[in-house]
Every structure is written in C-alpha cells, then in structure tokens.
Chain A
Amino acid sequence: MPGREEYINIFLIEALEAYEKISSYLVSLENSPKDDKLLAEIFRNLHNLKASSSASGFSDISGLAHKLESIFSALQKQEIELNSPTMDIIYRGFDFLSILLNNIKDSVKEKQVDGALFDELDDILKNRMISEPWRSPGEKESVHLKIPLSDLISIEVRRLDALLNNIGELIINRDRIMALANKLEHQELQDLGFSLYKISNEIRQNIMDARLVNLGILFNKFPRIVRDMAAKENKQVNLDMTGLDIRIDRNILQIISDSMLHLIRNTISHGIETEIERKKKNKPLSGNLTITATSKKGLVNIKVADDGNGIDTDKIREQGIAAGIIPPEKSRSMREFEILPLIFEPGFSLSTITTEHSGRGMGLNIVKEAIDSIGGTIKVISKKNKGTIFDITLPTSITVVPALLFKVREEFYAIPLFHILKVQSVSGGKKIHMWDDQLFFVHRGETIPLVILNRFLYGESDLPDNSGLELNSLNIILVEHNNRKIGVVPDLLLIRQNIVIKPLKKPMRNHKLFGGVTILGTGSICYLFDIPSMLRAFKEIYSMQKIK
C-alpha cells in the first residue's frame, strides 16, 4: 500500500516546481522590485510550501519557508524595501531551500542547518515597520498520515528505460511474426500479427509519452544562472525564453543540459560585450539572450541567440591554418559558412581566441558530441557585431528512428533519415568524376566526395566487378553533417522503415562506424551508420590516400 512515501513524492514534485517558479520570478523581481503580481505569486508559492512541508513533517523546510514568506509578506505591504543586500540574503535563503529539497530527493538523512542564514533573514524582518506574525504559536501540529491512495506516482527513469527496452524486443519479434505470416500466406496469423502490431505500437507510444517532460524543468534554471554569470562578468544581460511547455524525452534533456549551460556561458562571457563596448557600437547597453524552443514533426528545435559581437571568422581561419585543419591554399576560397562550423571540430583549439573579447568557442566540440550522440544537430550562424545563433535540433524521443535501409554485399545497413539530404540516382556518368583515385559527384554545382560502401567497408581489392555496382548508374544517398556532405553509395537501396535502435554490445561496442543495431523482421541484423563518425573516418582515410 502506498503511504507516506506517496505523499512525499507529491510534496516534492510540487515543491521543486514552486522552487523553479520562484527562482525565475526572483530574477524578474530585480528589474521591477515593486511588481505586486510577482510579489504575490512568490508569496503564494511560499505559503503553499510552508503548509505542505509542515504537513509532510519537514519542519526545517516549513521553518525556512515561513521566514521567507514573512519577508515577502512584508515586501507586499511595503514594510521593508528590496535592496541589493536583502536580495542577496533572499537568494541565499532559496539556495538553502533547494539544498533541503534535494536532500529529501536524494534521501539524505543528516539534518542541515544554517544558523547564520536564519539570523540574517530575521534581521531583514526586524527592520520592518509593523510586526505581525502570520501564524499564532501553539498551532504547530504534526500530522500523522493515514495510508491513502494517490493518483500520482513518481517513477525512476531507469524503470522506463527498461520498459522501453522490453517493448523494443517485443516489436522486433512482432515484425518477425508478421514477416513469417506473410511468407506462409497464413491469413489468421496475418490478422493476429496486425493486431499485435497495433497493440505494441500503442504500448510503445504510451511508454515514450510517459518519459516526456517539459523543457521548463531545465530552462527555468537559466534565469538564475544568467543572472549570476552576467554579474560575474559585469555585464547586463536580458534573458527571454519561449516554448517552456514543449515536451521532450527526459534523458535527452539530461544529455543536453550541460551543452545548454555551455552555450549560455559562452554567450555571456564571449558573445555579449561589456556596456562600454556596446555603447561604442550604439547598441542598447543591455545584451539580449533569447532562447526559443519550437516543436515540429517529432523534432524539437532550440535556438540560442544573442545580439553580441558575433564570431570572428578571420580568427578561426588563422587558427585553422595554424592548426593544419585548413589547407593554406584553400583558406582564401573558403566561405564563411564553411569556416564557422570549424568551431565544433575536435582538437580545434580556440583557447587563444577565447581569451580575446571577440572570440568564443572553447569546448564546443563537446557540446556537439553530446548532441550528435542522441541524433541531434547543431548549427551556427553568426554575423560580426550583430550576434550569433546556435540552432539545435533534437529528436523528441530516443530509440525509434525513421531510417533508410540498404544492402552492401549480403549485409543490411541503415542510415537515419535525419542525416539524409536526398537520394539521387545518377546514370550516364556525366556527374561522376574520378580525381586522385577518389570519386566525386556534382550536385548543384557542389563537388561532393562519394563513398562506395562496398569498397569502404570491405577494402578495395575486388571492386566493383562482383558487387553489381556500375559506376555509370549509381544510387547516391546524400548525407550531411556539420555542413559537410558526402554521397554514400550502397549496392542496393531497400526501403524506408522505422527502426528500434539497440545499443551495440561487446565486442562491437567500440566500433566507431556504427551507432547501433536493429534486427529486421526477417531476423537479419542491420547495422545503423553513425554519420558523424563515418565522415570522420572517411576524412582520415582520404587524407591518408593523399599522402600516399
């Protein structure tokens, strides 16, 4: 039977939500310290927190909430004034509240006290004009709860992970049954397979929905972070956010949280200029950081935009040449959109740039890797002195992706549609050129290297005679990643299909070319290409060949 634990869960969910809300209100409050609505909302949230923490037996939290509530009550009545030292103590109060709440969440048993903080909170109230307690003494009663049923439960993410894994296995077996039914042309089995198909899809959808959370649970932390970082850098930064109610898989949100933080930190310390610089440029003194989230067709798009000084592509160019990433002879012809993505390159050290005010980008390769790992993309657009936009696209859910299936020799492979620009059949050989032992294909005036998978995967000794591949008639899968394109050529194109990706197990786990594996309805194994790794591998092999 559920009991006290259930109540604690409900309490925690509501309390953490209240804490996040208040955190973002506090930042707004600094700009308009007399905003009645904000004060009333903070007061109301604290008031509820006080009552429910007390009812759940967390007297330390209700004590703290009570003190903070009294301060906000006094602020509402204009008995005290909200100055900067007061605000700092209030912030410390909320920091401590967050510690206490997280202690419950993490089942930390030791009591934590901060006597100095309590004294300082009391001092704020001592300065008020009228003193009126909100609750008469003697009303302190602890509630011994009975064992009631609630309609809300909290569940560990790993349990949902396990469920999703189970349904993945189920779907793979379902597809095998359906394939078998079709092969046997057994009507009854086909019908059964179809109903299994519907039910299992529904279960999968329900599990995936259960994993979705609001972006707000991450984004509501940003106002506070931006405030603190801006203060440290002595800059003025306005944060504007939209799309907080967009839902996304909780694990995806977890994976990108560090990346988001990284981008925000970069923007504030390197993107947005100091007030003096902004004044010189005739910009508003306060820099703007805009985070916009939208969702479309199972994808979530997040744009992190600033109106700062933009990324200096000349500096990247210099660095790129110095680091040997850009061949000097190519550097002049490379255009901005080709130069900019270099900031995501691993090993592209921008440290010398980041120390100067105009640059940014340290560690952006880590951001990119995190986003790549969940099948997302990140792009950057930047204009000198106008600002920078990081444009991130993420899948709403993990583990099921639409992909294009194809065959190389007798093996099945797939590429997520996510990475595919288009599929093109080329015949006549007009568009295909051989140069330096490397095939290229001309697409809209752009020369794109081709990867003949048969050769790429199995070595070049016996190409292309026994593969059925004819160079004057190719199916080219044009993939793009990080503004870099290659044409991938399979032996035989198959179909588009939604596949359940399973992680690679030993000994394949460290295989760099593949991001996962799936089992097709026929029981065959199908490897999923990891396009970013494939591009890297191709680049290495290609440069090796050139050296030879």
Chain B
Amino acid sequence: MKKRILVIDDSYYMRTLLRNILEDGGYTVVDEAASGESALKLVNKTKPDLITLDLILPDDTGLKVLKKIKAAHPQIKVLVVSAVAQDKIVKEALELGAINYIVKPFEEKKVLESVNEIFNENKP
C-alpha cells in the first residue's frame, strides 16, 4: 500500500511543490494544511504515515505543533521542511522528535531521497 503523507505549509506554492514531488515519487498526499490548528485536526482525522512540517505558521510555531503531534501520535513520523536554518532550531526540532530536517529551498531529489530513506528503514 502507498504510504500516506500530510503536507503542512502555509504557502500554497510550497504545498503544491511538495505534493507534486511526493505524488510523482509514488506516495499519496492525503491532505494539506496551512495552519497549526487545521494541521492538528487533519492529523487526527487522516492518521498519516508521515507529515512534512513547515516551522513558521500563521497561528502557531511549527515546533509547538511538532510537540503536540508527537505527544498525541508518537508513531507518526515528522519531516521538517523549513527555510529556517539556524542550528539551534534544527537541533530543537530533532530533539522534539522530528525524523529529519530539510532546509528550503530544497532539491526535489533530496526531498524524495529523504522520504524514501524514512520508509525504507521499515521495509523488508
């Protein structure tokens, strides 16, 4: 079965880009969220295998959203995709349970590689 991914980013451009990359790579993008609040609702509703998470959202910081997701659904993997590249923030995100961290702007290849890598660990 195709792995199901939820894309969280407040930019329509970025969401479209990520959706296209992921769908072309053989994944199912179950939904998109543009704010922290709708993201949490959609996580509960769609129970995705993976979430791509932007760190700057209109209503909440991505790190707080990450914390909340991990608290409610520790099994869901979260890949941070953000233009914030400060070491401090990257470190904090990984400590909070993010499985990896991609800095925008990214290479398409890099996103797919990273996602493939995350899922391959669980494949036979």
Contacts and interface: CB of A to CB of B under 8 A. Distances in A.
Contacts of B107: 141, 143-144
Contacts of A144: 107-108
A297 to B, nearest CB: 33
B44 interface: no
Residue with the highest number of chain B CB atoms closer than 10 Å, among A13, A62, A148? A148
A133 B103 CA distance: 14
B58 A10 contact: no
A176 interface: no
A11 interface: yes
B16 interface: yes
B71 interface: no
B17 A55 contact: yes
Contacts of A11: 13
Interface residues of A, number: 34
B108 A150 contact: no
B58 A48 contact: no
Contacts of A472: none
The residue among A7, A13, A47, A133 with the most chain B CB atoms within 10 A of its own CB is: A47
B99 interface: no
A143 B106 CA distance: 7
A55 B13 contact: yes
A153 to B, nearest CB: 12
Contacts of B106: 55, 141, 143
A13 B13 CA distance: 9
Contact of A135 (B11, B57, B85): B85
B83 interface: yes
B116 interface: no
A220 interface: no
B12 interface: yes
Given A132-B86, A134-B85, A54 B104 contact: yes
B95 interface: no
A141 B86 contact: no
A11 B11 CA distance: 9
A536 B105 CA distance: 62
A51 B13 CA distance: 9
Nearest to A54: B105
A132 B86 CA distance: 8
A240 B27 CA distance: 47
B39 to A, nearest CB: 15
Interface string B42-65: 000000000000001110000000
A45 to B, nearest CB: 9
A132 B17 CA distance: 29
Nearest to B19: A148
Contacts of A55: 13-14, 17, 104-106
A14 B20 contact: no
Interface in A131-182: 132-136, 139, 141-146, 148-152
A52 B14 contact: yes
A270 B87 CA distance: 56
Contacts of A146: 20-21, 24, 108
A192 B84 CA distance: 61
Interface in A50-73: 50-52, 54-56, 62
A52 B85 contact: no
B83 A145 contact: no
Listed residue (B17, B57, B106) with the most chain A CB atoms within 10 angstroms of its CB: B17
B10 interface: yes
Contacts, number: 85
Contacts of B104: 51, 54-55
Contacts of B85: 134-136, 139
Given A47-B83, A50-B83, A148-B24, A7 B105 contact: no
A151 B56 CA distance: 24
A224 interface: no
A44 B58 CA distance: 7
B108 A48 contact: no
Nearest to A10: B13
A41 interface: yes
A51 B106 CA distance: 9
Nearest to A139: B103
Nearest to B111: A143
Given A51-B11, A136-B85, A148 B20 contact: yes
A48 B10 contact: yes
Interface in B1-45: 10-14, 16-17, 20-21, 24
B86 A14 contact: no
Contacts of A43: 56
A230 to B, nearest CB: 30
A20 to B, nearest CB: 15
A10 B13 CA distance: 6
Nearest to A56: B13
A148 B22 CA distance: 11
Nearest to B88: A132
A134 B86 contact: yes
Contacts of A50: 83
Contact of B20 (A51, A54, A139, A149): A149
A139 B105 CA distance: 8
Nearest to B55: A47
10 contacts: A7-B13, A52-B13, A54-B105, A134-B86, A135-B85, A135-B103, A139-B85, A144-B108, A145-B108, A148-B16
Q: Closest 8 A-B residue pairs measured CB to CB?
A: A148-B20, A52-B13, A48-B11, A54-B105, A51-B104, A51-B83, A55-B105, A135-B85
Given A48-B56, A133-B86, 16 more contacts: A10-B12, A10-B16, A11-B13, A14-B12, A44-B56, A44-B58, A47-B83, A51-B14, A51-B105, A54-B104, A136-B103, A139-B85, A143-B107, A145-B108, A150-B20, A151-B16
